[in-house]
Amino acid sequence: MKTLRILLWAAVLIASGLFGLFGYQLTQPRDEFVQSALVGQEIPPFDLPAATASRPGLTSADLADGSPKLLNVFASWCVPCAAEAPQLEALEREGAQIVAVAIRDRTEDVDRFLELYGNPFTRIGRDDISEVQLAIGSSGVPETFVIAGDGTITYQHIGDIRPEHVPELLEELRKAGA
Amino acid sequence: MKTVLTALLALFCAAIFAAPVAAQDTMPPAPYAYQQLDDPALEEAARVLMETLRCLKCQSQSIADSDAPMAGDMRHQVRSRIQAGETPDEVRDWLVERYGDYVSYDPQVSATTWPLFVVPLLLVLFGGLMFWRRVGRKGESA
């Protein structure tokens, strides 16, 4: 009988502990971000046509040419992508090589976007059905990946790049061998 | 008063006809986003799989339920991969490799999920043990 009593008290303790945990989790902000599980792995092979006449398209081989790069996933219809444009310009001024994938976008819209917000990209691939986005584990726009010179994904930044993220990304680029 | 009301009414009318600033593209959906596969057996396999895959843009819906462009693009991946001869499990693994267990509504046993499967078993065993002890004791005293 005594063991039963102890077991019942243990059950009460476990239950209250669980409710405490639920209560705590309910007060925590929800994490909406889905991290790519491909960080640390090689970029999957892909070959995208050019999204605009002013820049060539993008293949996975371009990302494994020996020098580390930023891979920006953006779209002209995405508002935060316009907001992060000055930060991409700043990264380019600091010497970062930036290539991009335009998601579900038309050439004329990409052209207008680049004219309005600047063009820090050396290459822009056109991904009409989000195939490269899905292949690299990106779940939205904008996202920015750091790719080492051998084509390994070393870092993923989700959401728009704010001014405070610029040094972080430069540091990640340096770690990737820039 | 009247001018205020008129102004409010005008504002209301304007609000009705204003186009919402949609953060969405104007591109047509991917070929297999809304197009079923010709082979009914393959389409059925794809449908069952799509109902257990999470839409990444609208995280409480499956990609079968969502009209988000990205869900359409995910359906295109599922249907074209199944069309090309991959099994549903291979397609699921392809997505889990990229997005983690989170993308799947059908929990698989893995390094992080095994307690989900082991704990209920332990609880049933524990309940059975308690029951056996109580019944066993009653049997002794009778």
Distances (CA, A) of A170 to A23, A92, A99, B20, B118: 39, 10, 15, 37, 45
B98 CB burial (10 A radius; 0-12, 13-18, 19+): buried
- Among chain B residues, CA nearest to A103: B25
CB of B27 closer than 8 Å to CB of A106: yes
Taking residues A96-107, report their average pLDDT. Answer: 96
Q: Which residue of B has its CA nearest to A136?
A: B98
Q: Which of B69, B28, B63 is nearest to B46 (CA)?
A: B63
Residue of B nearest to A137 (CA): B98
**Entry pTM:** 0.81
Give the CATH class of B27-106: mainly alpha
pLDDT of residue B59: 81
Cα distances (angstroms) measured from residue A138 to each of B32, B70, B99, B108: 20, 11, 8, 22
CA distance B81 to B126: 45
Q: Is the peptide bond before A120 cis (omega within 30 degrees of 0)?
A: no
Please state, in angstroms and as integers, the Cα–Cα distance from residue B67 to each residue in A53, A57, A97, B71, B139, following that order: 31, 29, 36, 7, 62
In whole angstroms, what is the distance from residue A154 CA to residue B78 CA? 27
| Residue-level pLDDT at B21 | 47
Give the separation between CA B92 and CA B46, rounded to whole angstroms.
11
Q: Which of A53, A39, A120, A123 shows the shortest CA–CA distance to A87?
A: A120
Please give the structure tokens belonging to residue A109. 């819209």
Average pLDDT, chain B: 86
Q: Which residues, numbered 17 to 56 in chain B, qualify as contacts with chain A under a Cβ-Cβ cut-off of 8 Å?
A: 21, 23-27, 30-31, 56
Which of A38, A77, A106 comes nearest B23 by C-beta? A77
Average pLDDT over residues A125-139: 96
Neighboring chain B residues of A34 at a CB cutoff of 8 Å: 56, 59, 99-100, 102-103
pLDDT digits (tens, 9 = 90+) for A74-84: 999 999 999 99
Q: What is the mean pLDDT of residues A149-155?
A: 96
Whether the CB-CB separation of A158 and A33 falls below 8 Å is answered with yes
According to CATH, the topology of domain A47-175 is Glutaredoxin (3.40.30)
Q: Where are the domains of chain A?
A: 47-175
Minimum distance, in Å, between the CA of residue A94 and any CA atom of chain B:
30
pLDDT higher than 80, residue B12: no
Helix %, strand %, coil % of chain B (to 5): 60, 5, 35
The ipTM estimated for the assembled molecules is 0.85
Written as one letter, the residue type at A118 is G
Q: Taking Cα atoms as reference points, which of B54, B76, B77 lies closest to residue B66? A: B54
Beta bridge mates, A72: A100, A144
- DSSP code for B63: T
The answer to whether residue B17 scores a pLDDT higher than 60 is no
Q: In this predicted model, what pLDDT tens digit does every residue of B31-63 receive, in sequence order? A: 999 999 999 999 999 999 999 999 998 888 999
pLDDT of residue B2: 64
